[in-house]
């Protein structure tokens, strides 16, 4: 979660820097001693440049988001597969343990029955 905050603040800082530069350049154009037509042409060029940069920035952000989502999906799938394998292994070991204990208990019951029969025979 701390990494998300860093990415967000870095993106915010980059956007703020970009917007500050754009505002500063616009002010410089407005106070420069040029004709109105030249100033409008320069402002139009700067606006087009700013639009292209913003589109590039947005495209990079989209690419990074898609990449992060795909990576998260891969990690989640891998984790789920490992969990399933661990669960299957644990269930198999549990079944083996129950079978072993079942045979031990069955043997103990049979031995108890035999001992009971012998003692009953002696008493009679």
29 burial via Cβ count (<10 Å: 0-12, 13-18, 19+)? middle
Residue 61 in domain: yes
Is residue 93 very low, low, confident or very high in pLDDT (cuts 50, 70, 90)? very high
Report the range of poorest mean pLDDT among 5-19, 34-48, 106-120. Answer: 5-19
Residue 49 forms part of a structural domain? yes
Q: Are 64 and 8 in contact (CB under 8 A)?
A: no
Structure confidence by residue, pLDDT tens digits, 21-57: 777 777 776 776 767 788 788 878 888 888 888 888 8
Return phi, psi of residue 106, to 5°: -60, -45
Which structural domain range is residue 48 located in? Answer: 2-88
Phi then psi dihedrals of residue 35, to 5 deg: -70, 160
34 DSSP 8-state letter:
-
Number of domains the chain contains? 1
Asked if pLDDT for residue 92 goes beyond 90, the answer is yes
| Residue 63: inside a domain | yes
């Amino acid at each position: 979660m701390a990494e998300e905050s860093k990415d967000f603040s870095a993106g915010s800082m980059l956007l703020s820097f970009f917007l500050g530069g754009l505002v500063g350049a616009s002010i410089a154009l407005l106070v420069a001693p040029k004709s109105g037509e030249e100033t409008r042409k320069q402002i139009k060029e700067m606006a087009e440049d700013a639009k292209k940069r913003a589109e590039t920035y947005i495209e990079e952000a989209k690419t990074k988001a898609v990449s992060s989502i795909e990576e998260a999906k891969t990690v989640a799938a891998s984790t789920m597969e490992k969990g399933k394998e661990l669960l299957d292994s644990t269930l198999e070991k549990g079944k083996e343990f129950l079978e072993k204990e079942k045979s031990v208990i069955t043997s103990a019951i049979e031995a108890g029955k035999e001992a009971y029969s012998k003692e009953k025979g002696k008493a009679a």
